[in-house]
Amino acid sequence: MGIKLILEKFDKTKPLITYFMAGYPDIEKSLKTGESLIQNGADILEIGVPFSDPVADGKTIQVAHEKAVKDGITILDVLNITEEIKKKYPSTPVILMAYYNPIFVYGEYKFIKLAKEKGVDGLIVPDLPPEEAKDLKKLTDENDISLIFLLAPTSPMERIELVGSLTNSFIYYVSLTGITGAREELPWEELENKVRLIKEITKRRVAVGFGVSKREHTERLSRIADGVVVGSAIVKLQGKSDLNGISNLIKELKSGLIGS
């Protein structure tokens, strides 16, 4: 289903996109986390691929990366987790969030082919600039996987236009300058202005992430954006194997989404 499956979610609702780390605190518990997210209302799963130098991530997700890397979690482990989830929930889009180095070492062609076989619908590579993504974009297009690009408060007009031209599902807008992590407050006025500008220029759907941690955030963001991404708040509970906490969090966040 690939790109079409992601687009269908945005057509039907303002999706709640939920991030968790593959293999953290172990493979079986991370699989249960992914399943719990879907069971409690997540519309799209974003699965983190462990890496030793996750420069875009804050402390909570860095700890998850470090633990999974130390435990030897591989790309194949991540894709096998994806496959297990897709077998049970084929209508839920799965997006991998992977830094470029592991993809490069594994081999772009081999990685994308295997990702397709395992049921991956989308891919985010936070440290790969769109200007340098030509080869990977060609491979993802050929395999019906959406390569999703990030924009930030500091993104210039040229970058916004370029990302708009490359996007075939949605644009991921990073709400804050800096690293991931749950926040009490978000820069609402700047967010509203920038998301409106991006949508006007690109004519693409925009999902907002970084800092989202409570119902107030999803409610306000869903008035501005087409979807909402939450990560660190989930990973914090994931590290404690707190499935009950994850269930309550997702239900709370989902309840705030207008049009969901």
Residues 6+ positions from 41 with CB-CB distance below 8 Å: 16, 250, 251, 253, 254
Summarize pLDDT for 74-117 with one digit per residue, the tens: 999 999 999 999 999 999 999 999 999 999 999 999 999 999 99
CA distance 27 to 24: 6
Highest-scoring range by mean pLDDT, 56-65, 118-127, 167-176, 204-213: 118-127
Query: Catalytic one among 8, 11, 35, 57?
Result: 57
Neighbours of 114 (CB within 10 A): 16
State residue 249's pLDDT score: 97
Query: Catalytic one among 46, 77, 121, 226?
Result: 46
Summarize pLDDT for 219-256 with one digit per residue, the tens: 999 999 999 999 999 999 999 999 999 999 999 999 99
Q: What is the DSSP string of 82-150?
A: HHHHHHH-TTS-EEEE--HHHHHHH-HHHHHHHHHHHT--EEE-TTS-GGG-HHHHHHHHHTT-EEE-E
Give the tokens for residue 40. Answer: 């409690």
Give the tokens for residue 25. Answer: 């605190």
Residue 182 in this model has a pLDDT that exceeds 50? no
Residue 181 in this model has a pLDDT that exceeds 50? no
Residue 66 in this model has a pLDDT that exceeds 90? yes
If residue 19 lies in a helix (H) or strand (E), which one and from where to where? strand 16-21
Summarize pLDDT for 13-27 with one digit per residue, the tens: 999 999 999 999 999
The answer to whether the beta carbons of residues 193 and 233 sit under 8 Å apart is no
The CATH superfamily holding the domain 2-255 is Aldolase class I (3.20.20.70)
121 is catalytic: no
Q: What is the DSSP string of 34-60?
A: HHHHHHTT-SEEEEEPP-S--TT--HH
242 is catalytic: no
The domain locations on the chain are 2-255
Q: 210: pLDDT confidence band, cut at 50, 70 and 90? A: confident
CA distance 228 to 254: 10
Q: What is the DSSP string of 159-206?
A: HHHHHHHH-SSEEEEESSSS-----S---HHHHHHHHHHHHHHH--EE
Q: 59: pLDDT confidence band, cut at 50, 70 and 90? A: confident
State residue 177's pLDDT score: 56
CA distance 222 to 203: 17
The answer to whether the beta carbons of residues 69 and 101 sit under 8 Å apart is no
State residue 213's pLDDT score: 87
